[in-house]
Amino acid sequence: MSNAPISEIKIRNIQSSDNAALAKIVRDTLVEFGANHPNTVYYDSRTDFLYESFQTPRSTYFVAEKNEKILGGGGIYPTLNLPENTCELVKMYLLPEARGIGLGRILIEKCLQAAEENGYKYVYLETMPELKQALTIYAKFGFNYLKAPMGNSGHSGCSMWMIRNL
């Protein structure tokens, strides 16, 4: 994959038929990095129904695929109890062969654009120290660390929180 041109990768909105493949990517990635902790998306039953979750107003989920194989995705969501002007960057996961080619950057850019289009002023995220590559990317995008979580994602297993102005 890493030698394939990124131009061959299609980014589209989530479909109901994507649920099983995306849930597997999310959970396999967390296992890969030793981040499959209790109270994370690993154990969240909503992970199996991402399409349904992203029918919520002002939410969007992008899926990356090549030759009809899902490579991963990411989205924005108006997480419970976040301020009205703040959404959460969520479920940003890629298969190992889809990393290191700029796909994560493209997905984050699309999510930030969708957040602006939906009237948000801030994008919040929750993560874990095990996901070191992601932390580096978020910092490059201007996300800053917070001392405590915002909203109520139900993912108290995440121990790091970040926010970015749009």
Domains in the chain with CATH codes: 6-165 (3.40.630.30)
The backbone torsions φ and ψ at residue 66, rounded to the nearest 5 degrees and listed phi first, read -140, 130
Those residues with Cβ within 8 angstroms of residue 153's Cβ, 6 or more apart along the chain or in another chain = 79, 80, 88, 126
Query: In this structure, are strands 69-77 and 160-165 parallel, antiparallel, or unpaired?
Result: unpaired
pLDDT value of position 155 = 86
The model's pLDDT over 136-146, given as tens digits with 9 standing for 90+, comes to: 999 999 999 99
pLDDT value of position 7 = 83
pLDDT value of position 157 = 86
Grouping H, G, I as helix, E, B as strand and the rest as coil, residue 75 is strand
Mean pLDDT of the chain: 94
Is residue 86 within 8 A of residue 123, CB to CB? The reply is yes
pLDDT value of position 4 = 53
Q: How many CA atoms lie within 13 A of 113 on its CB side?
A: 8
Under the banding of pLDDT at 50, 70 and 90, the label for residue 164 is very high
Nearest alpha-carbon partner for 134 in 97, 89, 70 = 89
The model's pLDDT over 57-92, given as tens digits with 9 standing for 90+, comes to: 999 999 999 999 999 999 999 999 999 999 999 999
Q: Note the pTM of the prediction, 2 decimals.
A: 0.94
Those residues with Cβ within 8 angstroms of residue 114's Cβ, 6 or more apart along the chain or in another chain = 60, 62, 75, 76
Q: Kindly tell me if the per-residue pLDDT of 165 is higher than 90.
A: yes
